[in-house]
Amino acid sequence: MGAGILYHLALEGWTDIVLIEKGELTSGSTWHAAGQCPHFNSSLNMTRVHVYGTELYPKLEALTGHAVSWHGCGGIRLACNDEEVNWCKQVYGLSKLAGYEAHIIGPDEIRNLHPFLEVGNIKVGFLTITDGHVAPADVTIAMAMGARNLGAEVLRRTRVVDVKLLPSGEWRVSTNEGNIVCEHVVNAAGSYCNVVGTWTGHKVPIANILHHYVITEPVKELIEREQELPVIRDPWSHAYLREEVSGILVGPYETKTAHVCWDGNPPAWDFESELVAPELDRLGPFLERAAERFPLFGQAGLKSVISGAITHTPDGIYLSGPAPGPRNYWMHCGASVGI
C-alpha cells in the first residue's frame, strides 16, 4: 500500500516524497500474500480499485522495468444457493457500471473451464476473465522502482517512532535515523497502523486476523495441462482454490473460528518476513470440503502452509483518504485485499 501510494504520487508529479520502511519492502503482510486479484465485489469504489489493479499489473513491467509475474488466468465465483445467485446478479450489474467483462455461467460451462471441479451443488458461476494473480513482492518492488525512477525516495531499515503536529501545521516524523518535517503524512503501516495512529490521536479500527493457505506438491494432471486453470472462489468450502506451479493452492477463510493474531496485540517491532504460527486444526472442515470440490487437492501431498496476519476493518473496506482532525494526515491501511 505504501509503495502504491509512492508510485502513484510520483506519477502525479509529487517527487519530494519518501517511503519509510522499518525492514525490507514487503516484510509485513505483503511478502506472503497469495496475490489474487479478483473483481467480484459489492462496493463500486472497491470494484474500480480492482479494475485498475488488473489493468495496471500486466503492463507494470513495461512501465517500471521489473517483472511482476502476472497470470491472467481468469476467475469463477461459485454460487450454491439462491442468495448467492442473487448476489451474482447484483454484482453483474456493478460490472457493467465499473466496466469489466463478466458472465454468469452454468455448471456445464464451469466444468469446461475447470474439468477437475465437482459441480453437483453449484447453481451458477460468476466468470471474470480479467481476474488473475501476481507476485506481490515483485509488484511492490516494481512500484518502488518506478517511483524512485521518477525522483521519489525509499528509506529501508528505518523505523518511524513518532509523528507529531508542529505549530506550523507541518508534521514531524521521528525515526531512529533522525527527523523529517513534511506537509503530508500517510499512515500505510499495515498491521501496525493502529499503533502508528495512536501517536496522533487517531483510533484506527483494524483487527489483525490470522489467515492460512496451503500449497500441494505438483499434480500430474496440472503438469500436463497447457492452460492455467481459473481461480475458483467457493462459498461452500469458504475457500479460494487455484493452481500454483502445477500444485494446488487452497486458502480457506474461517468463519466462526477466525482468530486475531498475537492475542490482539500489535506485532513486535522486530517482526519481519515471518509467518504467524499456523493453527491448522481449525482448517480441517474447510479443507475437507475443498477436497470434495477439487478432488485432486485431496489426493495431493501438502508442500507448504503459509499463515499470516491480514488487517480487517469492520466493513471489510480499507481506509484510504484524509483522517479526521488536523489537515494532511492520510490513511492508506486496513486492506484485507491489499494486492
Ligand X SMILES: Cc1cc2nc3c(=O)[nH]c(=O)nc-3n(C[C@H](O)[C@H](O)[C@H](O)COP(=O)(O)OP(=O)(O)OC[C@H]3O[C@@H](n4cnc5c(N)ncnc54)[C@H](O)[C@@H]3O)c2cc1C
- The site for ligand X (CB under 6 A) is made up of 1-2, 20-23, 27-30, 32-36, 159-160, 188-192, 196, 211, 213, 306, 308-310, 333, 335-339
CB 136 within 8 A of CB 31: yes
Ramachandran sector of residue 56 (left: φ over 0; alpha: ψ -120 to 50; beta: rest)? alpha
Task: Output 95 or 140, the one with its CB closest to ligand X.
Answer: 140
CB of 263: closest distance to ligand X in angstroms?
17
Residue 73 phi, psi dihedral angles, 5° rounding:
-90, -5
SS3 state of residue 250: strand
For 48, residues 6+ apart whose C-beta sits below 8 A from its C-beta are 98
Strand, coil or helix: 322:
strand
Position of minimal CB gap to ligand X: 28
What percentage of the chain's residues is helix, strand, coil (to nearest 5)? 30, 25, 40
54 or 124: CB nearest ligand X:
54
Which one, 104 or 171, has the nearer CB to ligand X?
A: 171
Closer to ligand X by CB, 31 or 104: give it. Answer: 31
Closest approach of Cβ 92 to ligand X, in Å? 22
Residue (32 or 114) nearer to ligand X, CB: 32
Q: Smaller CB distance to ligand X: residue 124 or 283?
A: 283
Cα–Cα dist 144/158, whole Å: 16
CB atoms within 10 A of CB 198: 12
- State the minimum distance, in angstroms, from the CB of residue 108 to ligand X: 28
Written as one letter, the residue type at 84 is E
Can you count the helices (H) and strands (E) in the chain?
9, 18
The kind and range of the H/E element at 146 are helix 136-149
Name the residue among 52, 5, 33, 23 with its Cα closest to residue 338.
Answer: 33
Least separation in angstroms between residue 302's CB and ligand X is: 15
Shortest Cβ distance from residue 134 to ligand X (Å)? 9
CB of 297 to ligand X, least distance (A): 17
Q: Which is nearer to ligand X, 104 or 136 (CB)?
A: 136
Which runs of consecutive H residues, i.e. helices, occur in 24-68? 44-64
Shortest distance (Å) from residue 225 CB to ligand X: 22
Q: Using CA atoms, how far apart are residues 192 and 20, in angstroms rounded to an integer? A: 13
